[in-house]
Every structure is written in structure tokens, then in C-alpha cells.
Amino acid sequence: MGTLKAVFSRFKFFGLVVFFLWIKTYLLYKVAFKIDTVNILQEIILMINPLSSAVFIIGISLFFSEKRRQVIMIVLSFLATLVLYFNMIYFRFFSDFITWPVLFQTSNAKDVGGSITELMNVADLVLVADLLILIILYVKKKFPLHQKSKKETGIIFSLALLLFIVNLGIAQAERPQLLTRSFDRDLLVKNIGLLNYHIYDAYIQSQSKAQRVFADSSDIIDVKNYTAAKYKKPNPELFGIAEGKNIIVISLESLQSFVINSEVNGQEITPFLNQLINESYYFDNFYHQTEQGKTSDSEFLVANSMFGRDSGAVFFTHAGNEYHALPEILNGNGYFTSVMHPNNKSFWNRDMMYQSLGYNQFFDITSFDVNEENSVGWGLKDVDFFQQSIDLLKSQPEPYYTKFITLTNHFPFELEEEDRMIEEYNSNSRTLNRYFPTVRYMDHAVELFFEQLKEEGLYEDSIFILYGDHYGISENHNKAMSMYLNKTEITPFDSVQLQRVPMIIHIPGQTNHKVFDTVSGQIDVKPTIMHLLGIEAKQDIQFGTDLFSPDRRSFVVLRDGSFVTDKYVFTNNTCYDKSTGSEIESNHCEPYISKATQDLEYSDKVLYGDLLRYYPTE
């Protein structure tokens, strides 16, 4: 104990740097990341978990000479602060923490500049206040330099390790099997700390890379048996009803179901989609199942009927995998397959991933006339996008499968006054306020697109699949959302329900329109399209089921492990009655927990092991 005291008396500057980083991290937990605790033990864990990483990181300075050591301490504290700040910026929109795959998605950086600027705040400068104090103290030489010994260096790193072990031990007692829940980043940060979480995340990512190396052809057998047992026979009245028709899929950016058949300031938000629903098959309990990959995750789900990664984006980390995707299947059935999206082809690594999925052509930004007059926010306005796409559609051989990815209704939801058809909402959230006008604009763009298709004779011989790709309003705007939805608060149950997105299947000439209340998700789109086209999906490895199947179970699994049935919602280890939103005994949800876990684990097994390379497609 005396030796430890001597070390800190000789390294007061070191202790001060560690103290500042420790307290700064804890305050960010409470203020920026809004991490809640339900008891004193959780608060103690939250308070102590930044300490071990702070001691370890600043301890690296001890490997430098005494003349450079204090400067290195400040530099290391600055780098740790950058990690905290990047996470804070990311959290402001995604309500999530950065993972290593996200950090390496550098090809996206130039395209998200406007969004990042929108999330920054002058008040963020308070994060460097401690660094300024440290610099002043260093310049004024308030702390004398000391030589250190190997023994003292060992003591510092032993202390860091001891603090981490104590922290982890208490956290494991509070939450058993903590480190098995790599998909629950909130839980990990809350218990082991943000900086320690990044180290753990690096370990998890390396593990996933290793899975492909050790996978072999026998691994696919269990998966095949599992998915075969999930298969549901198609509805005989609808099987093959769209055979030979063109398929137009529209990915509606950031569109959530709460705007459907709703108003803001007394005006309809989605008048055209509301009308289209009355002439279509509509699924009002349809959920997005994306994670950090957002739009690219939804593309992956729809194309493969498999889950994306629990962190990062499949489009970046597994673009070289072998897939048996919907575009490839349709190619084998005489379809020309394409994507239309007026963005850079490398964004989300689409140029590489689309090849793996089997698309014949990607109409990227170079296929469109994009200029300052017809662009806003993330690029080409939706009205211009659809208008310019007509000639591209006509240039394709028929039948074709073409997917459209819209842009205008993308955070930060910018819109020029000339395009605004409804006024902004009035709440404490600028994001939610601006969301409604951009949704209304997107709805108008889709309406004009349908009109143009009819004028060009492209409507009657096509079927249309329209779906929301992911949420637009994150949990950071719960206060404003509770105001709009006329609720006292947004509970975890409400947050899951807000993950519902529109799913519309429109078949011209069909009059048997219906609203389906089956609980479903994006993972169910692939088998649904295949059966509508008369392509049997039984032999395919997929984790979703035909939305129209009379035997399908009302069940959906979200990527974070939450799930929804026709009676229950399970999230954050809590079971809710779906009809009332009230917490109920966990035994009601227990029969479904293993099924949800198995769905995710088997899908991950296929993805990380690249198992479809062993599966015959003929």
C-alpha cells in the first residue's frame, strides 16, 4: 500500500489526467448517452467502469521518457476524448455506439458530411476544457518530472487490470452472461465502459472473421434442416399470380408506420400512400430488422431473407461471400435485375455487394442528371429521381426486377420551401419537426411516379412492393414523439412498436384488397416475392416466410434480440402484453426466446462462415 501511495505521489500529473478522463466519461454517460440505472449497484458500476480504461490508456505514457511523458499523457487523453466525441455524435442520431466495422466504412465519410455537421454543437467544446487545463499546467511546469521504474510501471498496469477485473466481477454478478450479449451495446457500455467496450468489440470482430476459416461443408446441414422446418406453403390463390410481370420495388427512406393515415397540423402526411393502401395488400404489423447498416441492412434482408450483422454493415464486411439472393434467383428465371439509386456507387460498398447479390446493372449517380437545382440534402430530389428513371426503365429488357432507393426523406430532413406541402411540426425536436414535410414530399414523388408509369404504359404489367427501410426518428426524440402521439412517455414497448414500417404490395387489376395484421418483417419479403412469381422457395435457405401463407406464424425477430408475436412484445429482457403495452410475467415470452435466439444464431452462422458456398443452388 505504501508503494502504491508513493507511485501516486510521484505521478500527480498522471493522476490528474486519469481523473479528468474518468469524470468526463462518467458525465457523458449521464448527459450525452442518457444511461439510466435502476439501483445503487448499477450506478456504482457505471461510475467505476471508465476508471480501468483511463488508467490503462494514460499508463501507455510510462513507456516514454520523462521529458515527453506529460505531453504524451495529454495526447492520449485527447485521443480518448475523440473516441468519446465520435460516439456522442453517432449516438445523437442512431441512439447507438460505434463499432469497428462502422469506423472502417471510410468510403461513406464524404457523403455524410452534412448529417455530421447537423449533429455537432458549440457546447461540445466543453469536452476539451480539461485538456486546456492540462496544457496550461504543463506549460507552467506545475508538476515536476520524475523518472519511473519498471516496478512502478508494472504497478500502474496491474492497477488497471485489477480495476477491470473488479468492475467485470460486479457487472457479471449484476448481469450474468454479460459478455455473451455482444449485440446489446447499451448493456456492454453500461457495465464495462465505453473504451473497454471498443476493445471487446475488436475481439468480437476478429472472432467473426475466424469463423469463415474454420467453417466446413457439414455446417450447412443443421442450417438447412432448421430453415426447412420453418418453411410455410404458399397461398394457392396467390402463388404465381404475378408470373412474368415486371417487379418494381421501392425502398422508402426512413418511413415509419406512425405517419400512415395520420395528420400533422390538420393535414394528411401520406395522402397517396393512404389511397394506395386501399387498393393493395397492406401489412400493418411489419417491422424493419436493420441495425447499424440501416438502408444497406434492409437491402440485405430483402434480397437474402437473412439477418444482417449485429454491428457494422454486411455490405462492407461480407461483400465477398457467396449468396443465393433474390436477384440471382430471378436472373435464373429470365428476369433482368437492376437497382436505381442516384448516389455514388461506392456508398455502402454497393458496387461490390450488388455483384455478389447477382444484379445485372446498377444505375448510380452517373446515370442521372444531378445538379444544384434538382438536389437537396443527400442528393437528387425524389420527384426528379423518379422522373429520370422512366427512360432507364424503358431501356431494360422485360421482364425486369428493379429496385428504387429514395433519398429526400433522409436525416437531417432538409427541404426547400418550394417543395414543402405541409408545415413543420412544432415540438422541441427540430428533427421530428422537419420529418413530416419530407415524408409528405416523398409521398408526392411516389404519386407522380405512378402517374408517369401509367402514361408510359408501364403500370399494368408490373407489380409493386413498397416498404420503409428503417426508422427515421430515433429514441433521442422520444419527448417530441410522446407529444405527437399524445402519450405521457415513450416506453420500451412503444419504442419497439415504432419500428413498424409500411409494407405495401400493389398488383394492378387485383380487387381482393386486404389489410393483414400478421406480425412480419423485411426478412419475409424474399419468399413472398418468389411465391407471387410462382417460384418455389422450399429448397432455399431463408429465415423468413411467405407473408400470404395461411400457415405462417405471427412472429418477428429484431436484430437486437427483441421479438414480437401477435400477443407479446419482448425487449430489454422484459415481456409486454401487446394489447395493453403493460409489463407482464416473463414466462409468457419464454417459449419464444429460444426461437428468436436460434433465428439469429443460425443466420449468423451462415453469414460468418460463408456457408452458402457449400450449398448447391441447382
Strand partners, 439: none
Q: Do strands 555-557 and 514-516 pair parallel, antiparallel, or not at all (unpaired)?
A: unpaired
The domain limits of the chain are: 2-211, 238-547
At residue 101, the pLDDT reads 65
At residue 104, the pLDDT reads 61
Which CATH number does 238-547 carry? 3.40.720.10
At residue 605, the pLDDT reads 94
DSSP 139-151: HTT-S------HH
d(CA 307, CA 544): 10
d(CA 267, CA 613): 52
At residue 245, the pLDDT reads 96
CB 409 within 8 A of CB 439: yes
Grid look-up 449484476 returns 174
At residue 66, the pLDDT reads 81
In the DSSP assignment, the letter for residue 502 is -
d(CA 154, CA 160): 10
At residue 62, the pLDDT reads 86
Is 295 an active-site residue? Answer: yes
Q: Among the options 99, 227, 270, 295, which is catalytic?
A: 295
- CA dist list (Å): 489 to 254, 482, 578: 22, 5, 17
The residues, any chain, with a CB within 8 Å of residue 408's CB and separated by 6 or more, are 253, 376, 377, 378, 381, 382, 415, 438, 441, 442, 445
At residue 538, the pLDDT reads 85
- CA dist list (Å): 228 to 135, 540, 557, 594: 64, 8, 18, 18
Q: Which residues of 499-538 are buried (b: 16+ CB within 10 A; e: fewer)?
A: bbbbbbbbbbebeeeeebebbbbbbbbbbbbbbbbebebe
* 132: enclosing H helix or E strand: helix 129-139
| CA distance between the termini of the chain | 71
- CA dist list (Å): 466 to 362, 403, 461, 478: 19, 10, 17, 27
**Residue among 442, 458, 436 at smallest CA distance from 405:** 442
d(CA 273, CA 276): 5
pLDDT digits (tens, 9 = 90+) for 9-43: 567 899 999 999 999 999 999 988 888 887 888 88
Strand partners, 557: 563
Measured in degrees and rounded to the nearest 5, phi and psi for residue 563 equal -150, 160
At residue 71, the pLDDT reads 93
3-state secondary structure of 160: helix
At residue 113, the pLDDT reads 53
At residue 211, the pLDDT reads 76
**What is the number of alpha carbons within 13 Å of residue 535 lying toward its C-beta?**
23
Residues in the chain predicted with pLDDT less than 50, given as ranges, are: 1-2, 618
